[in-house]
Amino acid sequence: MTKRVVVTGMSVNTVLGDTLETFHDGLLAGRSAISRWKAFPTDRCHSKVGGDLSHYDVAAKVDALQARLPADVHKRLRKLVTRVPWTTGLSMLLAVDGWLDAGLFDADYDPHRQAVVISGHNLNALYQYDTRVQFEEQPNLIGLRSSLYSLDSGHAGCVSEVLQTRGPIYTLGAACASGNVAMRSAVDEIRHHGAQVAMVVGAVLEFAPVDVHAMALIGAIAIESFNDTPALASRPYDTRREGFVPAHGGATLVLEERDAAERRGARIYAEVLACAANSDGSHLPQPHEDGQARVIARGLEDAGLKPSDVEYVNAHATSTPLGDLTELRSLKRVFGSHAARLRINAPKSMLGHCCWSAPTVETVAGLLQMQSGRLHRSINIDQLDPEVDLDVCRDGVVDVPVRVMLKNSFGFGGINCVSLWRKYEG
């Protein structure tokens, strides 16, 4: 029989908070955390707004964790964060928080059967950008370890070193679907490769100014209209939406085989029922209804679910004119008349788009909402797009029990990946 896989630990670090509680509270409060970028100068960028975590004090967080961590783990963490780029340090913090939440520091598991999958690519973009600028000015003053820490594999290696996992570690890039695709691989590590634990780290993408400006030039992100009102810039389903809002943010999901988790008395958040992926056969950043509908239908088939079994969709909903409507059309195509009964909300309306880690961050958001039975509203919908005829939780928090959630993610390069989750009920 296929092994059943559950989530036993989670962590998050976004502009809305760096704990599960503060993150959840911020979502339910309907609070936008989008501001003007401080991480880099924006004087030459058309778009100047984003979800900026550059003020986050990694060293202070490490100090705060000392009482909760085994001494050797804290020692390794403190040593490494002084050396690595900012976003690599955040990956280690997320991993440690997730491990703590899962209670794995006290679990009797074989470290050789613990896997770590980092979702994303080009993660240390600002570090690389600054290194190149320094090289142009004074080549011999670039960081001595820049050849090592510019690599995405550094995230996986550092997480493995801190936690002393000895199983497979790797990074997996699939643009804005990276978090779901990484989770799909983590499930496979447990079902097919003997892992007892598989952690997905949705790493924080550290944007550089050239990345933000380039996305503005192709019309992908919100541009000049909201530079002076950043909290209003991310507005899925609203007639004034003009593009997504890039944002810092990361999260982890700790997966275990259900029977083993129950035997050790772990707290279980939810069971992952399926994770399906496909592609559009087009590299252009243009969503396709056919590909999205097919991957959602495949996910339902793999999970053994009927469309009527799904109550809640944690939407991709990036605040782009075409993307928001394409996703809703895909849902209506798959769910038929049941689509009118779906509850759909848009975490990016508050968080911005965390890009590679967005599926992981938003899965955490969705599972917390399933636990509480309360769905956050989609904010900044001042004038609903006339084509939006489904329930997108526009009017406020919705109190509703949710047993099954669909999490959509669609990435540049024609990459589609969705996951389906069932609330754990013992």
pLDDT for the residue 1: 52
Give the span between the Cα atoms of 174 and 176, in whole angstroms: 6
| Residues 154-193: tens digit of each pLDDT | 999 999 999 999 999 999 999 999 999 999 999 999 999 9
Catalytic annotation on 24? no
Report yes or no on whether pTM surpasses 0.85. Answer: yes
pLDDT for the residue 386: 98
> Which helix or strand (DSSP H or E) is residue 255 part of?
strand 249-257
| Residues 199-247: tens digit of each pLDDT | 999 999 999 999 999 999 988 888 878 999 999 999 999 999 999 999 9
Catalytic annotation on 417? no
Beta carbons of 2 and 82 less than 8 angstroms apart: no
Beta carbons of 368 and 23 less than 8 angstroms apart: yes
| Residues 88-117: tens digit of each pLDDT | 999 999 999 999 999 999 999 999 999 999
Catalytic annotation on 176? yes
Which residue among 158, 176, 275, 417 is the active-site one? 176
Closest by CA to 179, choosing from 204, 197, 159, 149, is: 204
Closest by CA to 174, choosing from 420, 419, 363, 409, is: 409
Which residue among 275, 316, 355, 376 is the active-site one? 316
List the domains of the chain with CATH numbers: 5-263 (3.40.47.10), 273-423 (3.40.47.10)
Q: Look up residue 409 and give its amino acid.
A: S
Closest by CA to 331, choosing from 280, 284, 389, is: 389
Taking 90 as the threshold, does the pLDDT of residue 276 lie above it?
Answer: yes
pLDDT for the residue 381: 98
Which residue among 248, 353, 354, 417 is the active-site one? 353
| Residues 360-388: tens digit of each pLDDT | 999 999 999 999 999 999 999 999 999 99
